[in-house]
Amino acid sequence: MGQLGPHEGDSSIIVSLSEAAMHMYMAAIDALPFAEDRKFHKRADVVLAGMRKLRTALTDAASTSRPSPAVVVALSNVRRRYDALMEHAAAAPGSSLGQQLYVTRVHAKLSAQEVANGAGLRADLLDELEEGGTPTEEDAAKIRDAIAALGGVPGTEHLQHREHHEPAQDEHHEPGQEQPVESHVNGWDESLVGDSG
């Protein structure tokens, strides 16, 4: 009595491996450079690729005829962490359309199939883009339209707001007077992201 059956034992192993992997991934996420750093996307993409594999494995484990509550909890944790990193990456300079579309559709509570149907895209294309694929110019235009229709990429509202309202800052600008220099870079004060040396 008290011993785990074969199924419970397998689930325990899966959850333990998942927790160990997530421990490493969280350490890697904590060590990522600022989003404005040129190395950010390269390092974030490595972590995201690993988390996608872990997510797939846990999704398969949770789809068995006798799924374990612990496996479902582990899957939920991986998905939440993955979505948080994707949102961070999508709002960073140089983000891919795949990242932007993924975060936008998740924020809008839509499946890949639903967005693909609405945008006139192949559903499998969204999976390819999430994994770093490059869309054709025609598909890229449809993706941008879909993102705009769904309210834009979450986490970039401050950038959109500034773009739309920048001219209002110069309401009293005199003709011939030099425009003030923008002192912020991607929402950060230039003094904070500039070279301190």
Please report, as a single letter, which amino acid is at residue 63: S
* Residue 67 in this model has a pLDDT that exceeds 80: no
Stated length of the chain = 197
DSSP string, the chain: --PPPHHHHHHHHHHHHHHHHHHHHHHHHHT---TTSTTHHHHHHHHHHHHHHHHHHHHHHHTSSS--HHHHHHHHHHHHHHHHHHHHHHTSTT--HHHHHHHHHHHTT--HHHHHHHHT--HHHHHHHHTT----HHHHHHHHHHHHHTTS-TT-HHHHHHHHHGGGGGTTPPTTPPPPPP-EETTEEHHHHS---
What is the reported pTM?
0.74
* Residue 165 in this model has a pLDDT that exceeds 80: no
* Residue 114 in this model has a pLDDT that exceeds 80: yes
Instruction: Report the CATH number of the 97-160 domain.
Output: 1.10.260
pLDDT tens digit string along 1-17?
A: 445 444 566 788 889 99
> Once rounded to an integer, what is the mean pLDDT over residues 40-45?
96
Distance CA 75, CA 72 (A): 5
CATH of 7-95, one of 1.10.3470, 2.60.34, 3.40.50, 1.20.58: 1.20.58
Q: Are 48 and 82 in contact (CB under 8 A)?
A: yes
Going from the C-alpha of 136 to that of each of 99, 131, 133, 139, 141, the distances in angstroms are 16, 15, 10, 5, 9
- The residue extents of the domains of the chain are 7-95, 97-160
**Residue 77 half-sphere exposure toward CB, CA atoms < 13 A:** 16
Domains 7-95 and 97-160 belong to one CATH topology: no
Q: Are 154 and 103 in contact (CB under 8 A)?
A: yes
pLDDT tens digit string along 76-109?
A: 999 999 999 999 999 999 999 999 999 999 999 9
